[in-house]
Amino acid sequence: MSTNDEFECAIVGGGPAGLSAALVLGRARRRTILLDGEKPRNRVTKHSHGYLTRDGVTPAEFRELAHEELRKYPTLEYRHDIVVSVRKDGDRFCLSAKSGRGFSARKIILATGLAETLPGIPELASYYGKSLFSCPYCDGYEMRDRPLAVISDDPYKAAHMAQTLSQWSRDVLVCTNGHGLSPDLRSFLRDNDIPYQESAILSLEGEKGDLQAIRFADGTETARTGGIVIADWAQAANLHLELGCKLTEAGGIETDEACRTSVEGVFAAGDAAIVAPAQLIVAAAEGSRAAIGVNSDLTHESFHPPIPHFSK
């Protein structure tokens, strides 16, 4: 464990992206601090799927297993803390945490993830992660062949998701929550035998997060036992704004092939840099890539003069 608050790398965010970056940097013997608010995007779900060798693991178990591995590496330090601001001071970054502590590092990896806003439907949050999910690749298999709903305020996204979800169930109802479908989308759904309901959702019926039915403002009710909700996503933290990192059109932090952002010394990985239906394994892979980028740049910077380019 490091004994002072100066590090070679500070990783902000300890979901799969940040944890995986920490593992690679610990193994590269880099003095690294991992700061985590401990609110990963999938915290509402009971089980995570699709991560090879960890299919069906709970989010808490996944985290504990990762921390157990990280504890083996003496140059790593972990803190449950939230970074509230960051600024560049010469060739170092100064981070201030909610606890009042300060940290300084030569490189930063932003692995802060995304925050979701669900459609404004009463009680929706209590079903999210239990019977209504965000992505068919994560939870579609467990809902296979059941009567499902796709809930979205965006008719195009709803129709597109219904098409995707058809691989897991042919009984999918598109619910646009009071938003009208275009004539083209209506005929697409009719032509493909996908039912739809444009009326606003009045309530979700069920117990302890297990959906049983959906009630609509037009007085109808339909039995549904699960489905996909399309949320809006935004960056979970604002540190990239303070640092001046460029964003992609989709709102992800723009990165190159080594996860470097547009600001020298700042790297980004995981959902924060992807902003698309992401997965634990993809976030972890990006964390590894960012850590290798950090280690390569630190190594490169420590040799003078720089290694000559190979020439034939």
Ligand X SMILES: Cc1cc2nc3c(=O)[nH]c(=O)nc-3n(C[C@H](O)[C@H](O)[C@H](O)COP(=O)(O)OP(=O)(O)OC[C@H]3O[C@@H](n4cnc5c(N)ncnc54)[C@H](O)[C@@H]3O)c2cc1C
Taking CB under 6 A as the criterion, the residue among 10, 24, 51, 77 binding ligand X is 51
Among 7, 8, 10, 13, contact with ligand X (rule: CB under 6 A): 13
CB of 309 to ligand X, least distance (A): 35
232-235 and 114-117 beta bridge pairing: antiparallel
Q: Is the peptide bond before 305 cis (omega within 30 degrees of 0)?
A: yes
Q: Per CB under 6 A, does 227 bind ligand X?
A: no
Shortest distance, position 306 Cβ to ligand X, whole Å? 32
Stretch that binds ligand X, among 42-50, 148-156, 194-202, 299-307 (CB under 6 A): 42-50
Which of 34, 278, 290, 291 touches ligand X (CB under 6 A)? 278
- C-alpha span between 148 and 127 (Å, rounded): 13
Dihedral angle computed from the Cα positions of residues 158, 163, 167 and 169, in that order, rounded to the nearest 10 degrees: 60
**Given 25, 236, 243, 259, the residue binding ligand X (CB under 6 A):** 236
| Interface with ligand X (CB under 6 A), residue from 36, 77, 153, 297 | 36
Distance CA 150, CA 155 (A): 10
The interface with ligand X within residues 108-147 (CB under 6 A) comprises 111-113, 129, 133-134, 138-139
Give the total of residues touching ligand X (CB under 6 A): 42
Rounded distance between C-alpha atoms, residue 90 and residue 159, angstroms: 51
Choose among 262, 254, 259, 263: nearest CA to 235: 254
Which residue, 63 or 189, is less far from ligand X as judged by CB?
63
Q: Which residue lies nearer to ligand X by CB, 169 or 185?
A: 169
Does the protein bind ligand X through residue 155 (CB under 6 A)? no
Instruction: State the Cα–Cα distance between residues 151 and 157, nearest whole angstrom.
Output: 9
- 9 forms beta bridges with 32, 107
List residues binding ligand X (CB under 6 A).
12-18, 35-42, 44-45, 48-51, 82-83, 111-113, 129, 133-134, 138-139, 236-237, 239, 270-272, 278-281, 283
